[in-house]
Amino acid sequence: QVQLVESGGGLVQPGGSLRLSCATSRIIFSSYTMGWYRQAPGQQRELVARIFNGGSTNYTDSVKGRFTISRDNAKNTVYLRMNSLKSEDTAVYYCNAHRTRILTGRAYDYWGQGTQVTVSS
């Protein structure tokens, strides 16, 4: 009964901003790497941003300088602040939680249902 629930998507004009949230439950949130992925129509799902449990981050080149991923371990929530939005950012955005146990090789991987972001004038 692990749950990841995204919110905050919607319609925004080019140059505008949105903040996505992903609320989790029934996981030890601080143990997981959290990521935001997106999938546009007819395209493969791609990694947008990732934040490790130690706080370090990385981003795909197309969003560097515009998007910021953050996490609040006390609230079991990860965020994606999106600024200077472009039409190319239009996609369904998905939240992911991932952990691998090095000793055993067992992977834990969970996904949210997605939230639509549309950038259009």
Cα–Cα dist 121/60, whole Å: 25
Cα–Cα dist 95/23, whole Å: 9
Amino acid 1: pLDDT: 84
Q: What is the mean pLDDT of the chain?
A: 96
Q: Which DSSP category does 45 fall into?
A: -
Phi first, then psi: what are they for 88, rounded to 5°?
-65, -15
CB-based contacts of 68, cutoff 8 Å, min separation 6: 49, 80, 81, 83
Residue 116 contacts residue 27 (beta carbons within 8 Å): no
Give percent above pLDDT 90 in the chain. Answer: 94
Residue 119 forms beta bridges with which residues? 12
Q: Are strands 46-51 and 57-59 parallel, antiparallel or unpaired?
A: antiparallel
| CB atoms inside a 10 Å sphere around CB 20 | 22
Q: Which pLDDT band, with edges at 50, 70 and 90, does 31 fall under?
A: very high
Three-state SS string over 100-114 comes to ECCCCCCEEEEECCC
Q: Which DSSP category does 26 fall into?
A: S
**Segment 59-81 mean pLDDT:** 97
